[in-house]
A and B are shown apart, each in its own frame.
Chain A
Amino acid sequence: MNLFLKKRRRVVKKIMVGVCLFAAGSLASVLFAAAAARWKHASWGALPFAPVLIMTVVCLLVYKPLDLLFTRLFKDYFFKKKSYAHMTLMNFASDLALILDLGELANLVVNTFGEVLCLKTVALLVPNRVRNDYEIASAYGWSVSDAKRIRLREDSPLIGLIRSEGAHTLVRDRAVRTLAWQDANRLAHDFDSLRAGWLIPLFVKSEFVGAMAFSAARPEASFDEGDFHFFREFADATAKCVRNALFVSELKVANEELQDVQSHLLQSTKLAAIEQLATGLAHEIHNPLTIISGKAQVLLLQKDRNRLDQRIEEVLKTIVKQTKRAADITRKLLMFSQGSGAPKESLKLEQVLEDTIALVSYQTSLDGIEMTRKIVNAIPPVYANVHEMREVFLNLILNAVQSVGSKGKIHCEIHYQPQNQVIEILISDTGCGIPEDRLDKVFNPFYTTRSDGVGLGLFVTKQIVHRYGGSIRVESRPGQGSLFLVRLPREEVPASTVSAQKSFAWPLLKEEPLPREEPELGDF
């Protein structure tokens, strides 16, 4: 189509030149005849077309040298202008080597290239080694957010073409024309997704490090050999900078990963130390606690005894209760330090919530607390440890119960956000709230506002949530209530472990004795 258009233009141009020359010849002969008639009667008066013909031939002969002359003059002018742009870009390319940030580099390259050459769009395509595909680092002439959405797979036709063609500038129309219609369609789609008419691959030796895609402001514009030569030079200079920037960004990622692993390692070392300490403590403390609490219980549960003094009975009950509280400290510490190795399974969070609410329902009904729950849209199963999840719910709900005291509301809600695969757990209460200056302390270990509290519940909850890569946040208005928001990323159930984990049962853990069931104490 394009070719045909170009030819037609050439034909029209030639006709126009012919007509102009003829007109110029006629005009010249008329003028000449008029001028000559002043001095002497024209001898060719009998042939009125002869002067026209003669002058046309003269004009025709003079046209070519004149045309050449003008063309040369104009070309020189344009070439100077063009080479100035090229020079600017080349100087700029050598300065680029100093920029090591890929984003900054990409912005500078596309904007300068686009502005200096008056292009419509420019996009810099770079490889993403993590996802093993290609993405646009920056774009000129179209919105960067649109551009960032474009991804080319390694096996896409355009990338294939670049790899087979090497470091040659690709022209969309020319490349598409060489292929059969189906492949051509796919290739054209790749070009169009980059909004590109031309594409300069960036190679450092034989390593493919990216590509510059661009389109001209006028669709009919074309570039000549000189331009392509310049593109090649510019691409070579840019390619080196892009590769350096890519290396730097990969190094950054690797460094971050390393730091992450290191902090995890440090954390697990800390946890191991706490576990060791807690295990030792539990051994040493639980025995004396067992004796104290046991002896008190023997007295309380004595058969055929004389009725105990009311005051003594109260004291004994307090002893039992307080020994349990002391034992809970080490239990919670153990819970949080051991957890990382806890067996995981596919869990329904709404069921865990139900179970937990059932566990505290006795307490809440006594206190006249109204509990409501809401499950918003279907919650996918999570891959987690059931005890840890129960601990999260239990601590948050118990915290709410204690903050409400009596006569109030507690609302539990679970959401699922499919777009970012996050499960949100909301637990709000109409309790006393938390003063602003204490908001950042509630998750600290051993921080409590209750006289009989241990201050480990929310701390352990936070540790568990963090271990699952989630976050926990609290909002509160003193006197009106608090809201705890837990966000858990949905962890996929590893296919290989599903059956293994399901068969892993803790038959006796379920009928766990006293420690966690609070209401039992009231029976003494």
Chain B
Amino acid sequence: MKTLLIVDDEFEICDFLKTFFEEREYQVRTATSGQAALREIAESRPNVVLLDIQMPVMDGMAVLKKIKQDFPGVKVIMVTAVETREKIEEAIRLGADNYITKPLSLEYLEKDVQEKISHLTSPA
């Protein structure tokens, strides 16, 4: 089963992404804050995390750092509302596996998630 965690402080975004990926036979969980996301990861160990950068309290960067530190096997795709070079550069340095900008193209996103998962499963 392909597992996916969607982290975004906007509930509506989590909602439509969940609908979209569930239709494509993913097991999807959602989190609307950084802390909730880390709890979810510890609990369910998803294959891929879609992580929004801009979030209150604990932002995407902090979560990314924690994930790469505690769960290095989890692939992370950063989702940004603004394509700021410094942010992207920082995310890549921290170990993000890719980044996409809003508004999202779901087709592209699915392809990307699929690719990350196939990378995970094929060597094993």
Q: Which residue numbers of A lie inside 8 Å of B, CB to CB?
A: 279, 282-283, 286-287, 289-295, 297-298, 301-303, 323-324, 327, 330-331, 334, 338, 341-342, 507-509, 511, 513-515, 520, 523
Contacts and interface: CB of A to CB of B under 8 A. Distances in A.
A287 B81 contact: yes
Contact of A513 (B13, B23, B101): B101
B19 interface: yes
B103 to A, nearest CB: 4
Interface string B77-108: 00001111100100010000011111111111
30 contacts: A282-B81, A283-B54, A283-B81, A283-B82, A286-B101, A287-B10, A287-B81, A287-B102, A290-B13, A291-B10, A291-B12, A293-B103, A294-B17, A295-B16, A297-B104, A298-B19, A301-B20, A301-B106, A301-B107, A302-B23, A324-B103, A334-B83, A338-B84, A338-B85, A507-B92, A508-B92, A511-B98, A513-B109, A514-B105, A523-B107
B12 to A, nearest CB: 4
Interface residues of B, number: 30
A300 to B, nearest CB: 9
Contacts of A301: 20, 106-107
Contacts of A292: 103
Contacts of A341: 85
Contacts of B102: 286-287, 289-290, 327
B16 A298 contact: yes
Contacts of A511: 98
Interface in B5-27: 10, 12-13, 16-17, 19-20, 23-24
A91 B10 CA distance: 86
Contact of B83 (A297, A331, A342): A331
Interface of B: 10, 12-13, 16-17, 19-20, 23-24, 54, 81-85, 88, 92, 98-109, 112
Nearest to B21: A298
A264 B112 CA distance: 42
Nearest to B97: A508
A169 B54 CA distance: 77
Contacts, number: 91
Given A287-B13, A508-B98, A297 B106 contact: yes
B106 A294 contact: yes
B98 to A, nearest CB: 6
Contacts of A287: 10, 13, 81, 102
B106 A298 contact: yes
B123 to A, nearest CB: 20
Nearest to A297: B106
Contacts of A509: 88
List the 8 closest pairs (A to B, CB-CB), nearest first.
Answer: A514-B105, A286-B81, A290-B102, A286-B102, A282-B82, A293-B103, A294-B16, A291-B12
Nearest to A504: B89
Contacts of B54: 283
A291 B16 contact: yes
A323 B104 CA distance: 10
Nearest to B24: A303
A327 B107 CA distance: 18
B23 to A, nearest CB: 5
A515 B101 contact: yes
B24 A327 contact: no
B53 to A, nearest CB: 10
Contacts of B99: 508
A317 to B, nearest CB: 13
A338 B98 CA distance: 22
B104 A293 contact: yes
Given A294-B20, A294-B104, A513-B108, 11 more contacts: A289-B103, A290-B81, A298-B19, A301-B20, A323-B103, A324-B103, A334-B82, A341-B85, A514-B100, A514-B104, A520-B107
A341 B86 CA distance: 10
B71 to A, nearest CB: 21
Contacts of A291: 10, 12-13, 16
A334 B86 CA distance: 13
A302 B20 CA distance: 8
A225 B14 CA distance: 100
A86 B108 CA distance: 89
A286 B82 contact: yes
A483 to B, nearest CB: 32
A157 B22 CA distance: 86
Contacts of B105: 297, 513-515, 520
Contacts of B10: 287, 290-291
A342 B88 CA distance: 13
A520 B108 CA distance: 10
A511 B101 CA distance: 12
A290 B103 contact: yes
Nearest to A292: B103
Contact of A294 (B13, B82, B98, B108): B13
A298 B108 CA distance: 13
Nearest to A279: B82
Contacts of A327: 102-103
A282 B84 CA distance: 11
